[in-house]
Every structure is written in structure tokens, then in C-alpha cells.
Amino acid sequence: MPENFFEKPILNSPYNYPGRHWELDSDGQPTNRITEKRRECSYITPVPKPKKKKAKEETPDLFGGPKGISVDGELYDPTSIINEMRGYIDRWRKLPNPKDWGVTPETQRLLQHWRHHPFEGVRPFFCQIEAVETAIWLAEVAPKLEQGKKFRRYLEAANADANPELFRIALKLATGAGKTTVMALLIAWQTVNAVRHPSSKLYSRGFLIVTPGITIKDRLRVLLPSDMESYYASREIVPRDMLGDIAKAKIVITNYHAFKLRERINLSAGGKSLLQGRGPELQTKETEGQMVQRVMGELMGMKNVVVLNDEAHHCYRERVGADAEDTEEDLKGDEKADAQQQNAAARLWISGIEAVKRKLGVRIVYDLSATPFFLAGSGYREGTLFPWVMSDFSLMDAIECGIVKLPRIPIADNVPGEEMPMLRNLWEHIGKSMPKGRRGAKNLDPLSLPPKLTTALDALYGHYKKTYDLWADRGISVPPVFIVVCNNTSSSKLVYDYISGFEREESGKTSFHEGRLELFRNYDEHGQPHARPRTLLIDSVQLESGDSLDSNFHEVAADEIAQFRREIVERTGDQEAGRNLSDQDLLREVMNTVGKKGRLGESIRCVVSVSMLTEGWDANTVTHILGVRAFGTQLLCEQVVGRGLRRQSYELNSEGLFDVEYSDILGIPFDFTAKPVVANPKPPKETVRVHAVRPDRDALEITFPRVQGYRTELPSERLSAKFNDDHILVLDPKLVGSTTVLNSGIIGEQIDLTLDHLAEVRKSTVIYELTSHLLFTKFRDPGEEPKMHLFGQLKRIVREWLDGGYLKLVGGTQLAQIKYKALTDMACERIRKAITDAHIGENKILAIIDPFNPIGSTSSVNFNTSKDTYATNHDRSHVNYVVTDSDWEAEFARVAESRKEVLYYVKNQGLGLEVPYLMGADTHRYIPDFLLRIDDGKGPDNPLNLVIEIKGYRGEDAKEKASTMRSYWIPGVNNLGIYGRWAFAEFTEVFAMEKDFEKLLQDKFDQAFAAAGEGETQNLIV
């Protein structure tokens, strides 16, 4: 096996287009060669040979025919259509002008936000955005393109056989790639457009999210806009001004079991027969309409909701009749029982959605899954890809982007004569010795596990111990997690007892048996249970009974339990919900918080499970997995291995990539291999919650106007300009590009490429073109004719700017380059601001306030960060921490709190105070550092709002930001007269900061702040 693939397998940034991949040979193994393009979508499923071979078959039946789906006379298989779709999406994504994207303005803004916003915390991965881009393109762009309509016809054909009543689109993302975030992006796109385009038939603000179990249902509560940890705010899924639109979404999250029709009358079989008598069959179950009302009452009255299926490979209708293959009847034993159970669940799931369509209407169904394949016994060949999959980000793609851990499985051992290492497919060697029943291990002996199983446990545990010690040495505050996945409840109970210890009756006495794996023991050496269990048993029986939680656990975890009770009350608004918390809910909370510091599951080191862990569990501390069950296909392998693929650290290294992390696996015949070594974990940074302390500090709340732009009333008299350093434009190679280039062939003469020829352009030509651009773009309102009478005055001012040395040419740049449109815009914006400064008091500048969200407040601050922080004084800030991006900011926080004139202050992070400004022709948003309210002598009832910027090096962008604050934002807000008095100051020397701030507060009060409402304070720079 090539060495480099395992030493440095990560090739791409998770946030950028995956433009490189490892070449694989015909067996799917790396060749140690890197291909400089994206990996094409392809899927070769190593499945067992069909049990039933039909003579008519010539090629594998992908769906609906021998070679694929017919569209417009052409045959397509799912992977070829995905690759073709990628090409369209790639070309569409690269269009530079958003107006050419063919989407609504709201979609346009969301796409720009997801692609370019400087996220405070977790940033969406490329694959997450691409999945949503696919949905957007199919909905908004494809119908306008002739070629795009083909994809719609393909989807209609793909759904016709399997989902005739529904229109489904599947988005395939590897486990750990963040399907929850994709759902949040989809909901945001649909909701914002539905709210702002209520008559459109493309969008909906009603959503039904269907999950396969309670674990996932609990995890997806972050998709509710009202949840404390809602992704839309905490992960900045939408711009802050769109949060009001998101709040109008109606979202119901349910597990598919809720679709089962319930009995309305509790009767025994005899009682029901008695009541029925000789009449027609007594209908005691609820109707379809009543079921819909019960499951999604919040959506009643809405039409055409959007359905999101999480782990959607559980949702299908099995194929029957002559075309069916791999049916339930072809299976035996546990496999047949599993297939019957899976098919029944799939029928219930898809029937429930069909019922919703009949009663409410379903606009579209989005399926999300890492493994959207038909299961065994479904009537389709096991492992067949859902043909309505339109986007694919495979496990190999995820590994090459570092989004997931690299799974390692055995490749060699010291057992002679076997091609496959024994511990790679453990079940083949122990299956006959394990219990067959699904319930009751009371009479079975945990100490009598097959030796090959106990050997496997010891082998993997030995490596786990090294990892555990390494994590402890690195100061990681939670332990790594070891998972055992068993075939049935009896086996899981045996393994659990063997690992953690157990008691049993022997000759009328209770005897204690110590757990065989020390770090996983739930009992001490005296047989007393640890207050906090280290090993957790998860199966349906435990979830119903809550037996795993004893009184000691309740006592020691009292604070955490109380916290969870408070969270439930806050989420539901129901005081009784917190008081009536059951042990089952606590057990689920333990499970959902494994690996999370300060939560109920933080002490768990080992989880023994039947099948619950095949999906929906998102712990990122799993390092070891042992399979104690049969794995018929790579589908099941990937589902189970997926529990160990979520990364522990999401910090980028110096190359802008993730460091490689590993998950070590035994007993699962998965198709990735590696050498067994202990990976050095990267300790995660400690995170803190930054939030407004409510209601304790509500008296310290600071509000501010949300400014969208500016309106300037032109002076009617003679124009003049007031130039200063902020109006300087420096043209250098960093801004304009290389000005001298050495070109050379492999042989022959070398030449220098320079810009010397541009020196021939006359200065008068430059002045004319700058003046024309200034007149037509900066001094003309939309729809109006240019004010040609101003041309002469503007020409004079342009000449003053050039002659005054405010255009600086360095590094071989030329005057003629100012004619480049982007540079012309930059120059004209500086000249316009100089004119505005000269006419303050004559022409009124007014800020344009966001009509949908006019006021921002410190009360909305709520996010998590791993950056350095400074704890604020309880009587100086509404927010508990200042996030310090530099030592300068920490020093300023100290200085601000030391001055009695500062009433209160806040760091502008997660606050939403943004200043729109122009850089060239592009609109940007500037985020100042601090916002203070100070007493400048007019008393605390009439404070001065002081916006502070801490800046070292002042590049062109910094000058533009400061100039906009002084020339537009401050006077524009002050002139409105309803948001208080505002001023701006900039500090550029860290060591002089305290002295400068004291001078600002004491020496400049009367001069700088007396006329704050008249717009003079904006010129203050310290």
C-alpha cells in the first residue's frame, strides 16, 4: 500500500472546491498518484451475488430497465446524471455577476452569505453548500434552461416507479459531512423566499422533518428557530436581518413511528368482539386525517409543505411483482427477520408522507443520507443507489477534504492460511457461538464469550488505552470513546457485562464479577457502582426502562440533570416537562451528550449497542469500533463505521487543511486500510458561550440603528473638497498586480514585461475620464440626467486631488492604471468623500435604516467561541465576555472599564453593528471593534454613543472604513435625530491607548462632543 496516501491523505480544504484527488486503481486502492481535478461520482458496491438470477438480465438493473432510466430517448444511470449535474452547477457557481445566476434576490443574497461571510464560528463546508446549490439550481435555474428541463424529466421518471405519489430529490453526503447544516440551509432558502414571495409556488415555510428514531429527532431540534441553540442564529445560517423571516417558519420534527395509526379506544380483543357483535368491523383506530392532525398540528392549514427525510434510505416502497429481486423470501433467519422489519418501517414511513400529501399537499421531498441505497429484501438488488440522487459527496471525497476521520482496519495478522485477517470479519469466526435470540440473556454467562471475541476486545482495548493516555497527556478534558455494535440484545448484554462487570446469583448468594477491561468498569474493586458509569448499554429495553441509571448517578449528576430540566422548560415553555423528566429521557440525554464537557454523557468511555448506533448519533470522540455481528454489504459497513468518522478537532493547520485523524476498527469488513499506529490528537480549544446576561444586566443594554446605506443632498452652491490622508490612494503591485515580470522559455532569450508603455497616456486624459466617472456615478441619482453644470467644478477638484499628491504610484505602477474601472471607482469614492467632508452643514447626509430590522441590541448576542476572551465587569457590560482578536482589544477593554466616564460597553462581535462602505465598485460591510456609552458631561440620561476602532496598520481598506464612518455613518445617524448622539474614534497605538483615551474623555469633552448632534464629532481620530 502506498505510504504517502496514509501519511498525508488530506489534499483539499473542506471549505473550497475539491480540485484534487488520489487516483484509485481498478480495485479501488490508492496508486499514490494525485490527479489534479475533482473525483468523478462513481459507486461500485461489493455485494454478494444475487440469490435469484433472472434469465432476462443482461446487465445490473440500476432502476427501471436494463441500463438505466430513459429520458428523451437516452439512457442514464444515477452516477452519470450526477456527474452531468455537477458540470452545470460548477459553471453556474463560477458566474461572476450574481444577476446572471437566475435566482431570486433573496436566494442570491443567501448564496453570497454562505460562500463569503466571515463566520464567527462554524463555517459551512463546500459539500454542504454544494448540496443546497443543487436543490436551488433544480428549483430556480433549471426550469429556465432547455438542458435543465432534462433533469426534471429524469427525476419524474426516477420517481414514477418507486414514488408515484411523491417528487423526491436525494442529496448524498458522507457521514460526518453535516447533514443537519444542509437541512438548515434548505429551510432558510425555502422560508426566506416563501415569506418574501408568498404567491410563489416554488417555496414553502412549512416543513415536516422525518427521522428514523428519537436520537436523531432530539439532535435535530437545532433546526427549530425557537431553540436555544438554533443553527440559524448560532451558526449564522442567514444574515441577521433575515432571522425575522426564519421565525415565521413552521417546522415539525417527528420520527416515522408517529405515522402509525393509533387506537382511539383501549379495548381488549374480547371487549372489542363484544362491542362489535354481529355488526360491521368496529373501527377503533384513528383516521388518516386524525393521524396527520396529531403528528403535525402546527402545519394544519398550510398547503404544500416541504418534507425533509433524514437517513432517507429507510424510506421506500418495496418492489413487487415480476421485476422484483432480492425479496424477503430470498432471505433466511435473522436476515429475513431484519428485512421484514426494515420493509415494514419503510412502508410506514413512505405511507405517512403520502398521507400528508393527500391531506395537506407535499411540494417536494428532500432525502438526506450518507447511504441512499435500497436495503436487503426491498425487491431491488441490495446496494442499488436511489436513482433520484442528484448530489453526491462520497466518503472518499470527505477523507480527501479531511472532513472525516480516516478509518483503519486490519490488513495482516499472524493467523496462517487465511487471505482476510481474522479480526477484519470477526463474525465469520464467532457467529455460531453467539446467542441467536433477540431477548433474554439471563441464563447466559458473560465469561463464556468466544475466545476470538475476547481476544478482539483485548486487542482493540490495548490500543484504546494508549489513546486514552495520550488524550490525558494532551489535556483533552473528555475521554475517547470505544463502541461495540452487536447483533441482538442478548449478545449486547453479554458483552456489556463482560466489559463493565456484573452481579449474579450463585447458590443462593450474590457474587460480583469485575469488568475485564479496567477503564470501562462500572464498579470499583469492592463491587460498588461508580457514581458515573463509564460504560453504557443502549438498546430498546434500556430505553424503555431506564435501568442503566441508578440513584448514585442521579445524586452525583444533580447539577447536570437540573440544567437539562431547565433547558427543557426553556425549549417548551412547560414547567411540568422539567419536573416530570423520566429516566428514559435522561438515558437519551446521556447518549446524546457523550463526549461533551459538563453534560451527562461526559464520563462515558464505552458504548455497547445493538443497532441504534448505525445512524443519528453524532459524538465526535469515537476512536475505536468493534463489530460483533454480520455485515452483508458495504452499505451496513459504512453506516456502522460512520459512527466513528466525525472529527474531534476542526482547527485548520498552517496549510489551511485539517490534520488527519483516525478511527481504528475491528470486526467490520470495510474497504479502507491503514497501518495500526496511535494518532496524535489535536486538543480542541476550550469553548465559552458569549451572551447577554439576562435579566441581571438588562440595565446595561445598548441599542443601535441598523444602517443599510446613505442619502446625500447635493449642495446648490460652489463645490469644494477637503482632502486629508484618508483620501490617499496608493497604487502598488499588491493592489494592481505584478508590474515587472521575467518571462523565460526552456531555452532562448529572456525578456522583461513591464508597464513602461503606459507612461505615454497624458495626465489631461486621466483627469477627463476621472471627472466623467465621478459625475455619472457619484453625483447623479438613479433615473436622473447627469448634472453637466457640475463638470467644470468636479474637474477642478480631480486636478487638485492629483496635483496634491493624493494618488501615489509605487513599485512600477503607472498613472494610466487609474483608468481601470475598479481603480477609477476607488479614486472617485475618495474624491466624493472629500467633497462631502467640505460641505458638512450645507448638505445633509441621512442614514438609510433597515425597514425590516431597524434596531439592533446587545440582548441578541448569543454564540460560542474558542477564541481568547476577557471577562467583563458585571456593572460595565450587558455581555459576559469580550472576544479578543488581539492583545490590543483586551487592553482597550481594561482601559474602558477603568474609566468612570464609561457607563457601559460591548465588543461588536455577534452583535450585528455593520457599516456599509464601498471599496472600488463593490459594497462591503465594516464591523467596528467596540461600542461604548459614555457620560460626556450631559449626564447618563443623555449619553454619547462612541464607536471605537482598534487598528494597527492602516491599509487602503482601513482608510475607507474610517472615512465612511466619519463622512457618512456618524453624520447620517446623528442627522436622523432619533437614535441619540454618536461619535467615532480610532486608536492606532497600543502603548498610548490609555493616555489617548483619557485625553479623549477629559480634554476633548467640550470641544469634540458638545455638538455631537450637529455632526461634528465624526471627524475625531485619536
For cell 471627472, the residue is 771
Q: What is the pLDDT of residues 539-590, one digit of tens each?
A: 644 443 344 444 544 443 455 455 556 655 665 667 776 666 666 676 677 7
What's the number of CA atoms in the CB half-sphere (13 Å) around residue 362?
25
Q: Higher pLDDT residue, 753 or 983?
A: 983
C-beta contacts of 109-112 below 8 A and 24+ residues apart = 109/239, 110/185, 110/188, 110/189, 110/192, 110/238, 110/242, 111/136
Q: Which of 367-371, 586-590, 976-980 has the lowest mean pLDDT?
A: 586-590
The DSSP 8-state label assigned to residue 405 in this structure reads -
Q: Is the dihedral of CA 98, 99, 102, 103 positive or negative?
A: positive
Q: Higher pLDDT residue, 228 or 767?
A: 767
What length is written for the chain?
A: 1022
Which pLDDT score is estimated for 63? 32
pTM over 0.85: no
Helix, strand, or coil (residue 1014): helix
How far apart CA 533 and CA 549 sit, in angstroms, is 8
Q: How confident is the model at residue 437 (pLDDT cuts 50, 70, 90)?
A: low
Q: Which of 651-665, 716-730, 806-820, 874-888 has the lowest mean pLDDT?
A: 716-730
Q: What is the pLDDT of residues 496-533, one digit of tens each?
A: 888 998 887 766 677 788 898 999 998 888 888 877 78
Q: How confident is the model at residue 782 (pLDDT cuts 50, 70, 90)?
A: low
Q: What integer is the mean pLDDT of 123-128?
A: 95
Q: Are 771 and 765 in contact (CB under 8 A)?
A: no
CA–CA distances in Å: residue 820 to residues 606, 646, 753, 825: 63, 48, 19, 9
Neighbours of 47 (CB within 10 A): 18
Cα-atom radius of gyration of the chain, to the nearest Å?
Answer: 33
Q: Kindly report the average pLDDT of the chain as a whole number.
A: 80
Which pLDDT score is estimated for 91? 95
Name residue 906's beta-bridge partners: 931
Helices (H), 968-1019: 970-976, 993-1002
Q: What is the pLDDT of residues 463-489, one digit of tens each?
A: 898 889 999 998 888 999 999 998 877
Interhelix angle for 146-162 vs 78-93, to 10°? 140
How far apart CA 605 and CA 550 sit, in angstroms, is 18
Residue 161 has pLDDT above 60, yes or no: yes
Which pLDDT score is estimated for 620? 87
How far apart CA 180 and CA 186 sit, in angstroms, is 10
Q: Are 377 and 347 in contact (CB under 8 A)?
A: no
Q: How confident is the model at residue 677 (pLDDT cuts 50, 70, 90)?
A: very low
Ordered DSSP codes for 424-457: GSTHHHHGGGS---SS--TTS-GGG--HHHHHHH
DSSP run (H or E) holding 252? strand 250-255
How far apart CA 383 and CA 47 sit, in angstroms, is 7
Q: Higher pLDDT residue, 922 or 798?
A: 798
Residue 817 has pLDDT above 50, yes or no: yes
Residue 321 has pLDDT above 70, yes or no: no
Task: Provide the pairing of β-strand 69-71 with 74-76.
Answer: antiparallel
Task: Provide the pairing of β-strand 509-514 with 501-506.
Answer: antiparallel
Residue 417 has pLDDT above 70, yes or no: no
Can you read off the three cell numbers belonging to residue 3? Answer: 505510504
The top-scoring range by mean pLDDT among 265-279, 569-583, 603-617 is: 603-617
Q: What is the pLDDT of residues 293-306, one digit of tens each?
A: 999 999 998 988 99
Report the candidate in 854, 852, 851, 848 with the shortest Cα–Cα distance to residue 706. Answer: 854
CA–CA distances in Å: residue 267 to residues 275, 287, 288, 359: 10, 17, 20, 28
Residue 23 has pLDDT above 70, yes or no: yes
Q: Which of 561-575, 685-699, 743-757, 777-791 has the lowest mean pLDDT?
A: 743-757
Report the candidate in 308, 255, 258 with the shortest Cα–Cα distance to residue 588. Answer: 255
Q: How confident is the model at residue 274 (pLDDT cuts 50, 70, 90)?
A: low
For cell 443519528, the residue is 616
Q: How confident is the model at residue 851 (pLDDT cuts 50, 70, 90)?
A: confident
Residue 1004 has pLDDT above 90, yes or no: no
Residue 47 has pLDDT above 50, yes or no: no
Which pLDDT score is estimated for 943? 92
Which pLDDT score is estimated for 271? 65
Residue 416 has pLDDT above 90, yes or no: no
